[in-house]
């Protein structure tokens, strides 16, 4: 990862002073992040949320899908129910922990898939230019004609509910913006002299793409992708809220909010809980991606 001459470019004098320790690109990013306490706190929060979700089977006090007619809609702190129960008497703590698995997965996996696919299309479009670029980017333009929520509802609404369809929908929705960012970054890198130099020295297209272009495109694309995690979580929970996500007994923050909504007059605070989980996760991801962007010095 030390290929990018970030520091040496901005400090040409440093080249003449071998005694000073030259920090690599990621080293300088970390150096800037180290004093950004808000970002570090949110990063810690995300790690905690992920751990809670991963270890949900061991952490949750009860079976998240086991209902109890006698204990429906209990308030926070009722007997052994730390955060109350839902409309079917299921323990909210367990359901929130298990729901986090689905919601986090829906935040992260579609972004990963979309980054791989969209990034690939973007790099190809940006590197080859011309007709290839036109075909790929004009196709993407069509998807930009839909607001993201509308596109998600359109695709998921036609495909129907289910976790696979939801994942597919979110991936399709996230590909065009990532593709656009990758294309812009690639065409900028491509215009630089060192790419021509590599080609003049006989490097193959594949090797130029991987060892010269990709590595320089990576940081803007990754920073941009990180901003999409929170969007993906909110979109996913919105789809689940509309009944286009996981099917009922399974816990998911969006679906929980949707089914609890009927009980708003009985247990308003318990009803609001899944949304608070979504909000905290989404704020944490948003602030971390903000911090990353600043530390990596990428323009929005």
Nearest distance from residue 191's CB to other proteins, in Å?
A: 21
Q: In sequence order, what E strands does the chain have?
A: none
Asked whether position 164 contacts other proteins by CB under 8 A, the answer is no
Q: Which of 118, 31, 35 is nearest to 296 (CA)?
A: 31
Asked whether position 75 contacts other proteins by CB under 8 A, the answer is no
- CA gap 138, 127 in Å, rounded: 16
Q: Which helix (H) or strand (E) holds 57?
A: helix 56-59
Whole-angstrom distance between the N-terminal and C-terminal Cα of the chain? 22
Asked whether position 82 contacts other proteins by CB under 8 A, the answer is no
Q: Which is nearer to other proteins, 73 or 272 (CB)?
A: 272
- Segment near other proteins (CB under 8 A); pick from 16-24, 26-34, 60-68, 140-148: 140-148
Q: Do 146 and 154 meet the contact criterion of CB atoms below 8 Å apart?
A: yes
Q: Which is nearer to other proteins, 18 or 160 (CB)?
A: 160
Please compute, for residue 154, the number of CA atoms within 13 A of its CA located in the half-sphere on the CB side: 10
Number of residues engaging other proteins in binding (CB under 8 A): 44
225-254 binders of other proteins (CB under 8 A): 230, 234, 237-238, 241-244, 254
Site string for other proteins, 258-287 (x = CB under 8 A): ---x--xx--xx-xx-xxx-xx--xx--xx
**Rg of the chain in Å (alpha carbons):** 23
Q: Which is nearer to other proteins, 139 or 207 (CB)?
A: 139
- List the one residue from 53, 257, 288, 295 that touches other proteins (CB under 8 A): 257
- CA gap 78, 20 in Å, rounded: 62
Q: What is the DSSP letter of 203?
A: -
- CA gap 101, 107 in Å, rounded: 10
Nearest distance from residue 185's CB to other proteins, in Å?
A: 21
Nearest distance from residue 5's CB to other proteins, in Å?
A: 27
Q: Do 94 and 60 meet the contact criterion of CB atoms below 8 Å apart?
A: yes
Asked whether position 68 contacts other proteins by CB under 8 A, the answer is no
- CA gap 90, 62 in Å, rounded: 8
Asked whether position 216 contacts other proteins by CB under 8 A, the answer is no
Q: How far are the Cα atoms of 39, 76, 112, 222 from residue 53, in angstroms, in the given order?
A: 21, 21, 18, 23
Nearest distance from residue 261's CB to other proteins, in Å?
A: 6
- CA gap 54, 108 in Å, rounded: 14
Site string for other proteins, 174-213 (x = CB under 8 A): ----------------------------------------
**Using CB under 8 A as the criterion, which residues of the chain lie in contact with other proteins when the complex forms?**
138-139, 141-143, 145-150, 153-155, 157-160, 230, 234, 237-238, 241-244, 254, 257, 261, 264-265, 268-269, 271-272, 274-276, 278-279, 282-283, 286-287
């Amino acid at each position: 990862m030390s290929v990018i001459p970030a520091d040496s470019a901005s400090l040409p004098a440093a080249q003449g002073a071998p005694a000073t320790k030259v920090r690599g690109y990621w080293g300088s990013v970390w150096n800037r992040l180290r004093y950004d306490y808000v970002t570090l706190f949110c990063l810690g929060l995300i790690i905690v949320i992920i751990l809670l979700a991963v270890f949900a089977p061991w952490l949750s006090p009860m079976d998240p899908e086991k209902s109890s007619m006698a204990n429906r809609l209990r308030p926070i702190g009722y007997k052994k129910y730390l955060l109350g129960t839902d409309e079917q008497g299921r323990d909210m703590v367990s359901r929130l922990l298990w729901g986090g698995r689905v919601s986090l997965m829906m935040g992260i996996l579609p972004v990963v898939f979309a980054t791989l696919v969209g990034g690939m299309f973007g790099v190809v479009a940006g590197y080859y230019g011309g007709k290839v670029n036109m075909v790929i980017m004009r196709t993407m333009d069509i998807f930009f004609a839909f607001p993201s929520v509308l596109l998600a509802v359109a695709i998921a609404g036609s495909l129907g509910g289910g976790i696979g369809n939801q994942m597919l929908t979110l991936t399709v929705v996230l590909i065009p913006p990532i593709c656009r960012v990758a294309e812009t970054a690639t065409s900028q890198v491509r215009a630089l002299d060192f790419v021509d130099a590599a080609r003049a020295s006989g490097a193959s297209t594949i090797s130029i793409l991987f060892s010269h272009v990709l590595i320089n495109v990576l940081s803007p694309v990754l920073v941009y992708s990180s901003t999409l995690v929170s969007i993906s979580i909110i979109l996913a929970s919105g789809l689940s809220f509309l009944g286009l996500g996981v099917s009922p007994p399974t816990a998911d923050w969006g679906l929980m909010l949707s089914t609890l909504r009927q009980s708003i007059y009985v247990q308003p605070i318990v009803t609001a809980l899944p949304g608070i989980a979504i909000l905290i996760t989404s704020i944490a991801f948003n602030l971390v991606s903000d911090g990353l962007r600043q530390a990596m010095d990428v323009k929005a």
